[in-house]
Structure 1
């Protein structure tokens, strides 16, 4: 989640996007904002084929981290894992930048993902199983990945980020204490290649596209949260909506996912018992990013969507804050 002030300014004007898309071939008049969250994503067309322009602010996402992200994506594709393709600019670059008085913007372009998004309310047990298989295939490839250029951040980098955020907000002592407990627990876990490696961290339904006609495979997008962590965290974050729903049907769907995952990669029962502890890490990380996004500067005019979004983030932050008061 980006600074809400930057989000307001970016949504109000597409001047930066219009400047950056010119580094690639595109059809005039087709650029449209698609999503704004941790970065800005614009859809555009070239010869009536859709592509996506992703724009990051240098203070939120460094070029080195993007280089590492793209290298991993290319590695996955070379090994047959279905994901979107980074597209080179007219000058042959995968990354283009634009310097402005506000700072430097970093742009990359990706192909569109084939398939459709599935919904938590209608997904079938068979689709859950295929979803689990897809994540396990991802982790199997992660085991053998060794970066040539840059290395993605690790869980320790995120812990440092969270600690800094919580210390900047002096009223968040409970979060800081929770972070200490989670960090100590994570440091006690093994880090061999069978359990630890580069994870996606956002392998949820809005980032995977189901292709029923192609062996029921999933095309994956949005790798910009990838980090070195325990593979089980990818399972926990992927299944977040289902884990929170305590209904019997959701439990059956979770089991279908785990069956699919286990068919391609070992999943120890002891690891499944650790789901709640990994959820605590994920909740802390989400909480820290919300706090950071709410540290926006002065905004002259607040659009209605901003007021609604800010209210939602404040409510979510309070719910997470209350969860830190629970004992382990």
Structure 2
């Protein structure tokens, strides 16, 4: 989740998106907001074919990190892994920028993914198995990936980010203590290529489009959270809606996912036992991002959606904070 102040400015009258879309061929009048979370994403059409404009503020991303993201996606595609494609601008560039009075916005355009989003309430065991196979296939390719230029950030960079956020909020001592505990545990883990590499870190159903009866059932979008971490974290974050549900059906779905994953890449028993620890890391990272998002200062003209979104983020933050207090106590 981006800083709410940046979100308000970036969405204001769609001014930034209207300027950025001029770099790409597009059908007039088709540009519209699709979603805004870690990035701004707008849908549009060119010759009635759908595309997506994604842009971010320089504070939240960098050209070097986006280049590293696109290089990884190109590598995956060259190895027949199904993900969306970046689309060159009119001038042939994959990345375009504009300067505003607030700073620089960085944009890319992607092809649309064919297929449908599945729902956690209706997904079948067979679909869960295919989902697990897809993630395992990505991890197998990641093991052999070596970037030519810039590398994506690592878990250590994210720990540094979290420390900086928590230190700006001295009342969050439980989170800082939890981070110290989890970081120490992570440092004790092996970092060999069979367990550690470049992960997607948002391999959830929202970022996957399902196509039945094809060799690769899922087409993947949104690699902007990719980082060097343990593959187990990718599994845990993907299954976030299903783990700890105290529901027999959810347990069956999780096992189907793991069966699918294991049919492509081995899962050691100790990795499954580590899922709880990786969940603790994921909660900390989410909490830090939420605190950073809520630290936006004064907004002169508040859009009607701001208070509702702010309230939702505060409620989620409060729940996460309670989990840190339980871990310590």
TM-score between both structures, scaled by the size of structure 2:
0.98
Alpha-carbon distance, 1:304 to partner: 3.2
What is the match of residue 63 of structure 2? Answer: 63
Deviation of 1:32 (Å): 0.5
Q: CA deviation at 1:216?
A: 5.6
Aligned residues: 328
- 2:156 is the counterpart of 1:160: no
Structure 2: distance between partners of 1:206 and 1:276: 23
Task: Report how far residue 301 of structure 1 moved.
Answer: 3.0
Alignment of 1:1-328 (within 5 A): 1-215=1-215, 217-327=217-327
Equivalent residue of 1:242, what SS?
coil
Q: For 1:53 and 1:38, how far apart are their aligned partners in 2? A: 14
Quick check: 2:82–2:216 contact (8 Å CA) kept in 1?
Answer: no
CA distance in 1, matches of 2:65, 2:216: 31
Q: What is the TM-score with the length of structure 1 in the denominator? A: 0.98
- For structure 2, the residue ranges without an aligned partner over 5 or more in a row are none
Distance 2:141 2:294 in 1: 37
1:244: how far off? 3.4
Post-superposition CA distance 1:180-222 (Å, at most 9, x none): 0000000000000000000000000000000013236100000
Distance 1:18 1:275 in 2: 43
Distance 1:297 1:231, change over 3 A: same
